[in-house]
Amino acid sequence: MNTTTIRYTKTAIALHWLIGLAIIAMFFLGWYMADLPKDAPKVASFDFMDLGIYTVQLGEAASPRNFYFNLHKSIGVTLLALIAFRILWRITHQPPALLTTMKEWEKKLAKGGHHLLYLLMVIMPLSGLIMATYSKFGVKWFGVPFISGKDNPDIWHLFEGVHEVLGFIFITVIIVHIIAALKHQFIDKDETMKRMSLR
């Protein structure tokens, strides 16, 4: 791929927005489900995340906590596969060079920030997968048994803490990433955002 190309490939752009939006949605889902009571009665339908937008209809009654945790795990496993594909795509397709208008410190910060984002994209879902593996429930991928639970509370608690801390770090880095993109768009008024636009 020519290094003078301004835009990322269509595949890279699609993966960027799909994974980015899914990660943000997972944060909201994680914060919502963490406070759900463990002793809530099983139901066959309920208002999704109490948003009043969509009613979930289940084939078999389940507690809201059980449903949301299984959904979170299922999306997490799917995201991990997409992230692995994205990394493979990045390795095999050279990204466009950074804009020549960027200062040297901005280029170093941009490269470091992107490396950190990729690292967090991998270790965040991996920590969740390890945590779920060492619970007594294991992992089901949209109802299909995927990993059986090892029921080890010590390891589960350790990775619960790791997953939570990584979550706070990850959302902070994402916010900085968004602020940087907005700076390029509205203050620097350069072509940075266009490189990853869907148009």
CA distance 157 to 52: 33
Tell me, yes or no, whether 2 lies in a domain.
no
Question: What pLDDT is stored for residue 181 in this prediction?
Answer: 95
Tell me, yes or no, whether 73 lies in a domain.
yes
Tell me, yes or no, whether 26 lies in a domain.
yes
Asked whether the beta carbons of 95 and 11 are under 8 A apart, the reply is: no
Q: Does the reported pTM lie above 0.75? A: yes
Tell me, yes or no, whether 4 lies in a domain.
no
E strand or H helix that includes residue 41: none
Domain that holds residue 26: 10-38+64-195
CA angle, residues 61, 64, 65, in degrees to nearest 5:
125
- Residues 115-167: pLDDT tens digits? 999 999 999 999 999 999 999 999 999 999 999 999 999 999 999 999 999 99
Tell me, yes or no, whether 77 lies in a domain.
yes
Tell me, yes or no, whether 51 lies in a domain.
no
- Residues 9-31: pLDDT tens digits? 999 999 999 999 999 999 999 99
The residue among 154, 9, 187 whose CA lies nearest residue 90 is 9
Alpha helix positions (H), 9-152:
10-34, 64-92, 104-133
Q: 55-62 and 43-47 as β-strands: parallel, antiparallel, unpaired?
A: antiparallel
Domain total of the chain: 1
CA distance 193 to 199: 11
Tell me, yes or no, whether 49 lies in a domain.
no
Look up the CATH number of the domain holding residue 120.
Answer: 1.20.950
Tell me, yes or no, whether 52 lies in a domain.
no
Beta partners for residue 144, in sequence order: 141
CA distance 57 to 44: 6
3-state secondary structure of 58: strand
